[in-house]
Chains A and B, each alone.
Chain A
Amino acid sequence: MVYNAPAMIITKKKDFEEILFAIGDTRSLFLLGCGDCATLCKTGGEPELKEMSQKLVAKGIAVTGTAVVPAACHELDTKRVLRKHKDEVDKAQAVLALICGAGVQSVGDNTDKPAYSGCDSLFIGNSKRQLHYYEKCSACGECVLNDTAGLCPETRCPKSLLNGPCGGAVGGKCEVNSENLCVWIDIYNRLKKAGKLENLLLKISAPKDNSGLAKPQKLELKREPGR
């Protein structure tokens, strides 16, 4: 299992009380974690499964077993792990998944048991160092990085402005979160350095075309012969 890879889907733990409320009168659970993102976020790795088991047992809820799926968004992986732990899963009334929303649904779609979620999914995160995650891409479907000196205003500007700053920054800091530099000032500085300032900043970016982004999206590639 690779533990030093950067995380992708960033999650945070739900409050334990919220989980208890969600499972209602369920008295036995099988716990699932994920060896990828949730392990890196310390929300659904081995230690978190152990901690959750202890808390549940202390509340009188039986834990019939635990397992960590290598990558829960890989549905076949999830199915394989659930099959391997069939007896423990069968003994439980439900599965509690300490995984991102995609992983929880992998579980729910591959077992007859109800699947409960123990995490909230936050964003696609870049990692600078362990446990520090930053949102830089929101998978918006229409990448503008080639026009914006490689910095994404869709994600890094709270207002997703495509035509320059809102004007609200004070001392270069964003009006919404003063911990952040205004991304448009960064874009400006990079473009200025590259001598591309006026061309790019004076070009009016058209409104984003959202027509292809209706949820749920899918992508099914055809295998090329011989590959």
Chain B
Amino acid sequence: MAKSFRDSLEAGFTITAEIPPPKSVSFPKSIEVAKKVAGKVAGLNVTDNQRGMMRMSSMAFSHILLGVGCDPVWQICCRDRNRLALQSDLLGASALGIKNVCVMTGDYPTLGDNPGAKAVYDLDAVQLMKLTDGFSNGKDIRGGVMKNHPDFFVGGVVNPFYEPIELELLKLQKKVNAGAKFFQTQPFFDIESVDTFLEQAKPSGAKMLIGVTPIKSMKMLKFLNENVLTKPIPDGVSKRIEFASDQMMEGLKISAEFINGIRDRVDGAHIMPINQVASLPLLLDMVEEGNGA
């Protein structure tokens, strides 16, 4: 295996990407993509029933990715398990060789495909980070000594477009105090906003992986603007997509340029290829070829 996610982030600019676990037990296409990108990304982030949509366990899929030479960044959210289940999963994941944990609260079940599910949230993201960090330092939930303990690289998420941003930055600091070392952000589409955010987040001292999402069509751009993003995609980007002969290719090109444009400013980029995981190898090739650099 190439350099681990943790070592890569310590060493310099790091690219990670997101891959959702399948809603099935057979997933040759995902594995094919994972194998292709294994040497090109430092970590593959595995979502945990993202948006409350039922998928294969993120721990199981992380383990499968480990088997094909990737370093998984295992996402674990607080929505579905109480503290007993979370702790056993932390031990289980560590025993399976998973080293990186990205902790988050988790979208509420009514937003997903099991709206009647009981929302657990027995621990919140800060408490789970503190617990995970404690495990990594040989302490159990009560502060007792834990022998043969896991050693996780703990991270989380931060929303740079949250208002009031001061509140989100306080929460970021709280997460850092709880042991989080790296953060993934919502997608950015302009470098100016990245600079503003990095300045704001600087006091936390945490490693920042700037979110990148390739736009494959005007329909997707409209959807993101209306339903996902709190800050609209800049005109320059939407015009390029709108007038492109191949909107998907243009979206990948924009992302590649963006990644190469932030390379010198930040710890890393985190690619979230919404509904275009198959394009990931091509995007990474474009980044390597130095698009926009």
* Interfacial residues, chain A to chain B (CB-CB below 8 A): 158-172, 175-176, 184-185, 188, 197-198, 201-202, 204-208, 210
B272 to chain A, nearest CB (A): 15
Report chain B residues within 8 Å CB of A158.
Answer: 108, 119
A206 to B143 Cα, complex, angstroms: 12
Closest to B178 in A: A204
Report chain B residues within 8 Å CB of A163.
Answer: 124-127, 171, 174
Report chain A residues within 8 Å CB of B110.
Answer: 176
**Is the C-beta of B1 less than 8 angstroms from some C-beta in chain A?**
no
Report chain A residues within 8 Å CB of B108.
Answer: 158-159, 175-176
Query: Helix, strand, loop or mixed for chain A's interface?
Result: loop
Q: A163-B174, A164-B171 are in contact. List 9 more A-B contacts (CB 8 A).
A: A159-B79, A160-B121, A165-B162, A167-B157, A171-B163, A175-B111, A176-B108, A202-B173, A207-B141
A202→B177 contact, CB < 8 A? yes
A175→B130 contact, CB < 8 A? no
Instruction: Give the contacts of B98-150 with A (CB-CB under 8 A).
Output: 105, 107-108, 110-111, 119, 121-127, 130, 141
How many residues of chain B are within 8 Å of chain A by beta carbon?
A: 34
The listed residue with most B CB atoms (<10 A of its CB), out of A165, A166, A176, A207, is A166
Closest to A163 in B: B126
A167 to B125 Cα, complex, angstroms: 11
A68 to chain B, nearest CB (A): 35
**Is the C-beta of B170 less than 8 angstroms from some C-beta in chain A?**
yes
A207→B177 contact, CB < 8 A? no
A159→B163 contact, CB < 8 A? no
A117 to B166 Cα, complex, angstroms: 49
1/0 per residue, CB under 8 A from A, across B146-188: the answer is: 0000000000011100111011101101100110000000000
A175→B107 contact, CB < 8 A? yes
A161→B167 contact, CB < 8 A? no
A34 to chain B, nearest CB (A): 29
Report chain B residues within 8 Å CB of A210.
Answer: 122
B105→A161 contact, CB < 8 A? yes
Report chain B residues within 8 Å CB of A201.
Answer: 167, 170-171, 174
B159→A176 contact, CB < 8 A? no
Query: Given A159-B108, A175-B108, A206-B127, A167 and B177 touching (CB < 8 A)?
Result: no
Closest to B126 in A: A163
Report chain A residues within 8 Å CB of B170.
Answer: 164, 197-198, 201-202
Report chain B residues within 8 Å CB of A202.
Answer: 170, 173-174, 177
A167→B168 contact, CB < 8 A? yes
Report chain A residues within 8 Å CB of B121.
Answer: 159-161
Report chain B residues within 8 Å CB of A206.
Answer: 127
Report chain A residues within 8 Å CB of B162.
Answer: 165, 167, 169
Report chain B residues within 8 Å CB of A184.
Answer: 167
A210 to B122 Cα, complex, angstroms: 9
Report chain B residues within 8 Å CB of A185.
Answer: 164, 167
A141 to chain B, nearest CB (A): 14
A206 to B110 Cα, complex, angstroms: 27
Closest to B131 in A: A207
Report chain A residues within 8 Å CB of B83.
Answer: 207
**Is the C-beta of B200 less than 8 angstroms from some C-beta in chain A?**
no
B211 to chain A, nearest CB (A): 13
10 contacts between A and B (CB under 8 A): A158-B119, A159-B119, A164-B167, A166-B105, A168-B107, A169-B162, A172-B163, A197-B170, A204-B130, A207-B83
**Is the C-beta of B193 less than 8 angstroms from some C-beta in chain A?**
no
A194 to chain B, nearest CB (A): 15
**Is the C-beta of B230 less than 8 angstroms from some C-beta in chain A?**
yes
A221 to B72 Cα, complex, angstroms: 55
Report chain B residues within 8 Å CB of A208.
Answer: 122
Identify the 7 closest CB pairs spanning chains A and B, nearest first: A163-B126, A164-B171, A167-B159, A166-B105, A176-B108, A201-B170, A159-B121
Closest to A192 in B: B166
Query: Given A159-B108, A171-B230, A164 and B174 touching (CB < 8 A)?
Result: yes
